[in-house]
Structure 1
């Protein structure tokens, strides 16, 4: 038992991934014990668009929507939004943990000390691509039970702030608040007119395309002079 414990926490990368995976295990155990149910995270979902603080772009930048577009594609690649975020995170940690443990069988990482943590970079990259295939059947399962992610919220009539500049049929990013959650939506201009970064807008319709909403610039006391 002592040998197993030592192996799970040494070398350092093993210890980091063991702790991260253990945190997720505790989360699910707490969810089960607290009575919220072990429902694979349908109640624990965090909207992918709610990850609004992962970017930092300059107001007015012509390329302000590029980081958002890249992030959306990167998250969509591992089916975030098609399955609950906590399920995706747990699987990511678990697969990364397995790869890290397996790597320590073939590479003597302990001799590198803290530098051994650099092994986690390729581990996370490999895990990311593996997740694309692992999450496909999970996304299909959630689709079959009617899971729609952020679509469970009614966004029509809500106001928010643009985090990119859009016009014509260009897709941009809108940030709004639902309760305490900051949520990101993919949006288009309702009539094709230009809507700039940081403009206040209102969601007035949704398209037939999945997760794309139509917005119009909101007229209020702050922008009426514009």
Structure 2
């Protein structure tokens, strides 16, 4: 074997070995992440069930179903049903379309963020639930089912895929919380959410997940969830 071929072979072996170690490390991380998701969810279940039960009863007493499910895009583009406490009026879609048609500023805000600061669909109790993210507690069921993780990208609606720049989202399970939650939260645009997803996909590790989980309650208690 010539010296040039030997150097090439050594570089190839070194690169392959490094890539193999990185892949193995990433696989161990994903396995540990899944175990952590299930363990923490089961520990939080008694308190979460009590809180969800109280607010589900209040929603039901106000009229209509207590829970709301909606298709979302999961890892690899797979569609799953995401569960939440219902925060919107029963004629939510009609209210939204009428509001966007009558208010150009609202239309611009919706096109940029896929959300509205003053959303006409949300009930009075729903505003409280959203403000402190209580409506998202049923998503712990999605975590147990493996559709979501405690930490990851914000769950995307199927119709939002056409507006999503990049591919990072599709390589991860959506999260109950994430970088979007502890930064701008609802103040960021849909494109900026994609940047958070890319950042998280690069920095993914157990310490990053613990850091995000530690900061989430402090952000939620500020009541910026509308």
For the criterion TM > 0.5, the same-fold answer is: no
- Structure number with higher helix proportion: 2
Structure with more of its chain in strand, by fraction: 1
Q: TM-score scaled to structure 2, two decimals?
A: 0.22
Calculate the TM-score normalised by the size of structure 1. Answer: 0.22
